[in-house]
Amino acid sequence: MNEAKTEEGICFEAVYQQYYQRMYLVSVGITKDRCLAEDVVQDAFIKAYKHFDKLRDHDKLGAWLTSIAYRTAIDAIRKEKKRTFVPLEDVYLTSQESSSEERIVEKQVEYKWTEEQIKRQVVLLSPKLRKVFTLKYQNDWTDKEIAGSLRLALGTVKARLYRARKRVKEGMEQTNPTTNISA
């Protein structure tokens, strides 16, 4: 603080040094918060400095400063009560949860879109390829089960599945060049 002197020649820095601890203890007693009490004392000293010329009896300087600190602390508590605090953990979890939910929704939409695209491509397959593809991927049959059901050689089933997957993939890439589907 600068060496500010009042009309009577009192150095305000000396006043600050002399009464800081007293005002701090009053502020902590009211706010129950050391950091808030430090802010209260600073605000109280600013108020006192601005209105120092209104003090009539300098013998009551300590009581006057204590009174300012007391009222400033009460005002600070009122302001704190009006504020709505949300713990940082809640904000972080909420944003994480919503981010996670957004990703889940995005994945579901992407999956649904991909599924529709595959269905469109499967319809374009020849009946032979469509049959093995449908049994494999819609009915979850093994290659052996398909071969037995359609009375085909296992190698024929595997070849048809390979061609069906390849044509579905090529068709999807033509529909949407950014789609990257592994066969």
At 85 the pLDDT is 59
Residue at token pair 């302001």: 79
- The pLDDT > 90 percentage for the chain reads 36
**What are the residues whose beta carbons fall under 8 Å from the beta carbon of 100, sequence distance 6 or more?**
none
Q: How does the average pLDDT of the chain come out, rounded?
A: 82
d(CA 79, CA 81): 5
Whether the predicted model's global pTM rises above the 0.85 cut: no
**Would you call 146 exposed, middle or buried from its count of C-beta atoms within 10 A (0-12, 13-18, 19+)?**
buried
At 100 the pLDDT is 65
At 12 the pLDDT is 77
Q: Is residue 43 scored above 50 in pLDDT?
A: yes
**What are the residues whose beta carbons fall under 8 Å from the beta carbon of 30, sequence distance 6 or more?**
37, 40, 70, 73, 74, 77
d(CA 45, CA 19): 10
Q: Which tens digit of pLDDT belongs to each residue from 25-39?
A: 989 988 888 999 999
CA pseudo-torsion sign 86, 87, 92, 96: negative
Q: Is residue 78 scored above 90 in pLDDT?
A: no
d(CA 18, CA 56): 19
At 55 the pLDDT is 79
For the chain, domains (ranges, CATH) are 12-82 (1.10.1740.10), 109-175 (1.10.10.10)
At 2 the pLDDT is 47
Range among 118-122, 127-131, 134-138 with highest mean pLDDT value: 127-131
Q: Is residue 128 scored above 70 in pLDDT?
A: yes
- CB of 142 closer than 8 Å to CB of 154: no
